Homo-oligomer: A and B are copies of this chain.
C-alpha cells in the first residue's frame, strides 16, 4: 500500500516529502532527470548560433540553434567546469568559446580546440565534447530530457486529436509576447497538486472562474487525464465566450492559424498539453496561448516560468496589449503561488498529517502522485 492510500480514502504525501533535502536530491535524479521538461519554443532562437539557457534544479542547460536543429547540452566547460553562457538568452555565433581558457566547441557541442593542447597530444578531443541532453520538438515546442535513454518522443505521447487541434493554430508561427518568472517558497509538488485539481477554483480564483468552464475542467481530471508524462490538455472556456480572459473576450485581434484565415472557431475549441510529475502546462485559445513550466529550486522553493504566445505578425499596441494579454493568468498565478506558500508554511508544522482528498474533486492528485511514486521506486 502506498503512502497516499488509507483505508477509506487517499491523501497527498506525508510531511517529509515536502521538506526533506535528501528526497529532493533523489527527485532531481529520478523525476527531473528523466522526464520531458518543457523548455521553450523554436521562435526564441530563430537563427543559427542563437541560444537560451534553462535551469532545472542543479542543472543549467544550454539550448543552441544549430542550423535547423536545436542542440541541448550541459552548460559546463569540460576543462575546469566554467558555466559557458551566463545570460538567459543571447548569441554564441559559430562557436561556443569558454571565457576562462578559451576552449572552443562547435554548435553541436563537439570540442574543436583545447588551447595549446593539440588533439591527441594528451587526450582525444572526441572524448571531451559537452555532455548532450535529449531534445524532442513537438509542433515547435521544445522539450528536453536529461535521461541516459530518452523517453519516447513527445509527439508519440500526445494523442492525435490534441495534435490536430494544435496544428490548426500554426504553432511554429507564434512569438513570445511576454515572459514572467514567478517564485514561490513551496515544494514543487505543491504546484503540481494545485495544477491537477479544480476543487480550489471557486475559493481561490473568482476572476478565472468568469471564463473557465470549471465543470468541464474537473471532468478532464476525472475522465481524460491519463497521468502520463506528457499528454494533451484543454483549458475549457465557457461555450458562450471567445477566450480565457478577464471578460471572456479575445485579448489579441490577430487570431492564430486557420482562424486568422477565416475558418470559424468550433464550439469549445482549445489546445494544449501538460507534463507531469514535473509539471508544465500549455493552454491555447484562438487568439493566444500561455505555457507555464514549474521548476524546483530547493525542497522549499520553486519557480514557474510563463510565456505568453501570440501570432508572429501580431503587433503590440495594435493587435494586443501586454497588460490585457497576461492579466487573467497573472492574477491566477499569483493566487495559486500565494496559496502554495501558505500551504508550505502549514505543512511545516510537526502536527501536519495529510487529510482525505475528495475522490470526485481531486482524482488528478492521485494519478499524478502515483506516477511520482512510481518514478521514485516507491509503492504507488
A59 at the interface (CB under 8 A from B): yes
A100-B203, A361-B116 known; A123 and B346 CB under 8 Å?
no
Task: Pick the contact of A99: B60, B86, B203, B360 (CB < 8 A).
Answer: B203
Q: Are B28 and A75 in contact (CB under 8 A)?
A: no
Binds B, one of A34-42, A149-157, A230-238, A347-355: A347-355
Complex Cα gap A99–B338 (Å): 11
Task: Pick the contact of A355: B60, B80, B99 (CB < 8 A).
Answer: B80
**Minimum CB–CB distance for A372 against chain B, Å:** 16
Complex Cα gap A80–B349 (Å): 12
Complex Cα gap A75–B122 (Å): 50
Specify the chain B residue showing the minimal Cβ separation from A102: B203
Q: Are B101 and A203 in contact (CB under 8 A)?
A: yes
Task: Pick the contact of A354: B81, B100, B123, B339 (CB < 8 A).
Answer: B81
Complex Cα gap A358–B59 (Å): 27
Q: Are B9 and A122 in contact (CB under 8 A)?
A: yes
Contacts of A343 in B (CB 8 A): 80-83, 100
Q: Are B81 and A356 in contact (CB under 8 A)?
A: no
**Minimum CB–CB distance for A131 against chain B, Å:** 5
A131-B351, A339-B100, A350-B59 known; A80 and B123 CB under 8 Å?
no
Contacts of A100 in B (CB 8 A): 200, 203-204, 339, 342-343
Task: Pick the contact of A346: B28, B83, B360 (CB < 8 A).
Answer: B83
Tell me which residues from 43 to 77 in chain A have a Cβ below 8 Å from any Cβ of chain B: 58-60, 74-77
Q: How many copies does the complex hold?
A: 3
Task: Pick the contact of A345: B33, B83, B351 (CB < 8 A).
Answer: B83
Specify the chain B residue showing the minimal Cβ separation from A199: B101
Complex Cα gap A90–B58 (Å): 41
Specify the chain B residue showing the minimal Cβ separation from A122: B9
Chain A count of residues within 8 A CB distance of the other chain: 59
Complex Cα gap A29–B83 (Å): 31
Q: Are B81 and A347 in contact (CB under 8 A)?
A: yes
Q: Are B99 and A350 in contact (CB under 8 A)?
A: no
Q: Are A117 and B358 in contact (CB under 8 A)?
A: yes
**Minimum CB–CB distance for A364 against chain B, Å:** 13
A79 at the interface (CB under 8 A from B): yes
A99-B203, A122-B8, A203-B101 known; A356 and B79 CB under 8 Å?
yes
Q: Are B339 and A28 in contact (CB under 8 A)?
A: no
Q: Are A76 and B352 in contact (CB under 8 A)?
A: yes
**A323-366 CB contact bits vs B (8 Å, 1 = yes)?**
00000000000000001001101111111111111111100000
12 contacts between A and B (CB under 8 A): A8-B122, A58-B349, A81-B347, A83-B345, A84-B346, A100-B339, A101-B200, A115-B358, A117-B356, A122-B358, A122-B359, A131-B351
By a beta-carbon cutoff of 8 Å, the part of chain A in contact with chain B is 8-9, 12, 28-29, 33, 58-60, 74-84, 86, 99-102, 114-117, 122-123, 128, 131, 193, 199-200, 202-204, 339, 342-343, 345-361
